[in-house]
Chains A and B, each alone.
Chain A
């Protein structure tokens, strides 16, 4: 019976595929793996690729997610050295970094990631308490240092948790850590509100008195400046008039030719000027031309 070559190729292909599925495994870029031989971890794999293994039951592959996990711990209370109870909660970005160290501790549990996070939670709790206990409230909240102390506190918690992981050799790595919540106990919030209310009251009063004082100042200032302007103008006007008088005085030389006539003319002018408007004059008989009514004059008339 002649063999059909196509049949042969297809058969071989199937065997290859079956073999591939049985003898190889893929580690994705999102995973780390550890190969166990008869239950003992023998080969850690941290690079993504296609790998060979002996089929079950000789070797078995355990893969773990190597992506960064988000973990947020519980809100827990710590006491600052200046006596404030602070509730803090942090978020942690961590990942499995060493599968051989990670495997024996957590592979047994149903959810290795959750089991690891439970450990993290415990340590975070102590680390936070210790760090909060070292810092006054002013380190957490401060205008002066642009938040440097706040960042310092986060760093302290991070290094505490990192050293804890290192000493216990868990095969984890904490990538980043940050404070997520920073709060006060419920009873304290009431007293904060009371303080804020009185602060607001003070502020409102300050605005009010400030406004009044400032408005007063502006008014007084304006009045002062107005008076100054006027006084200035008055002195200038006097000066101008003075120069006028000085200029006019030049004409006095002309009058000097006959001071008697000049003085007579001045008086005539003054008289005319003074009586221009509504006025009342009271005469007796000595005043010219009314002296005509007097005795001497009648003589003249009688003549």
Chain B
């Protein structure tokens, strides 16, 4: 390796002095040349090392990297992504590494259909004051199928399915996703009625937005999966009272209908209970009537022979017996003797002096 003669020129001096310096000046020059040449060599080695070392790069915990070889991505789909850690690539112009922050779920918001609100107001949850009109430059809104104005905003959560397409296919893929969401909101609102969007078919509207945005990102080949799509819609702030009136009226209607249904239940239940008792009463009456007749017939058969023997006496006896029984039960008994001239006597009675619960009866034999 070394043909530097400067340190050990004394021992082999007698044997062969091939280029022995003629004078001290030229020897110093050669010496200087040699040492500078050594420096150049060291620099050259360093350069090459540096060149090779330039291929090292680290990928941070929230990032991924994609390697380009001759400008083309190495690997397909998810495999093209280099995970966090230390990596090495061949130096430019062969390889090139590009860092991307695309891990996990991505989210875009569409506010193109929302009224103007500053971030501070959004954080504080304050609704900005509403003017009488909407300025199309600052206030966003969507038009519904029945030509009404509503505000609607959406959030799209997606996962990157093809990172190469997502990163290398678009200048700003998340912007494209947001545009697709904007368009989906506008499109869906254009064929939904205002009441469907706001109250009757909120889920249907959201599903339509989701369907449309999924279709759009597929058509635009964004290389993403739509994970979630949430939509929020409100009436214009200017029409709060009018919309509140409708919902109050709707609730009122519900109350009225509920009341009517309760009444319906009561009335029909009572009717069927009454009907049941009517029928069971009739049934018991029937049974009583039949058995009563049967009992009377039996009694008749028993007394028939006696009657046949003494008809007149039997009649007298049973009439008197019955009368005596009956008369003990009668509350008021008034005897009215016949006036001597044979004319009927006038009798005045005040009946029902007290209000009686059982029906008072009046009978005349």
Q: Which residues of A contact B (CB under 8 A)?
A: 1-2, 4, 7, 10-11, 13-14, 17, 20-21, 24-31, 48-50, 65, 67-70, 72, 75, 87, 91, 93, 137, 140-143, 145-147, 150-151, 175-176, 178-187, 189-190, 192-193, 195-197, 199-201, 203-205, 207-208, 210-212, 214-216, 218-219, 221-223, 225-227, 229-230, 232-234, 236-238, 240-241, 243-245, 247-249, 251, 254-255, 257-258, 261-262, 264-265, 268-269, 271-272, 274-290, 293
B181-213 toward A: CB 8 Å interface, digit per residue (1/0)?
011001110111111000000000000000000
Task: Determine if A243 and B286 form an interchain contact, defined as CB atoms under 8 angstroms apart.
Answer: yes
Chain A residues within 8 Å of B365, by CB = 271, 281, 283, 287
- Chain B count of residues within 8 A CB distance of the other chain: 143
Task: Determine if A205 and B249 form an interchain contact, defined as CB atoms under 8 angstroms apart.
Answer: yes
Interface presence of B20 (CB below 8 A): no
Point out the residue from A1, A70, A141 that lies within 8 Å of B171, measured CB to CB. A70
Task: Determine if A264 and B315 form an interchain contact, defined as CB atoms under 8 angstroms apart.
Answer: yes
Of the listed stretches B117-125, B145-153, B154-162, B225-233, chain A binds B145-153
Q: Mind listing 29 A-B residue pairs with CB under 8 Å?
A: A13-B48, A26-B93, A28-B168, A29-B68, A29-B72, A93-B220, A143-B193, A176-B220, A178-B179, A178-B180, A178-B182, A186-B135, A204-B246, A207-B246, A207-B253, A218-B261, A219-B267, A225-B267, A237-B278, A237-B281, A258-B308, A261-B303, A275-B361, A277-B361, A278-B358, A278-B361, A280-B351, A281-B333, A281-B363
Which DSSP category, helix, strand, loop or mixed, fits chain A's interface?
A: helix
Interface presence of B57 (CB below 8 A): no
Task: Determine if B300 and A265 form an interchain contact, defined as CB atoms under 8 angstroms apart.
Answer: yes
Per the bound structure, the CA–CA distance linking A128 and B68 in Å amounts to 41
Q: Which residues of B contact A (CB under 8 A)?
A: 1, 3, 41, 44-45, 47-48, 51, 68, 70-73, 92-94, 96, 112, 132-137, 140-149, 164, 168-172, 175-176, 179-180, 182-183, 186-188, 190-195, 216, 219-220, 236, 238-239, 242-243, 245-246, 248-250, 252-257, 259-261, 263-265, 267-268, 270-272, 274-276, 278-279, 281-283, 285-287, 289-290, 292-294, 296-297, 299-301, 303-304, 307-308, 311, 315, 318-320, 322-327, 329-338, 347, 349, 351, 356, 358-365
Chain B residues within 8 Å of A287, by CB = 365
Task: Determine if B296 and A265 form an interchain contact, defined as CB atoms under 8 angstroms apart.
Answer: yes
Per the bound structure, the CA–CA distance linking A280 and B334 in Å amounts to 8
Task: Determine if A180 and B190 form an interchain contact, defined as CB atoms under 8 angstroms apart.
Answer: no
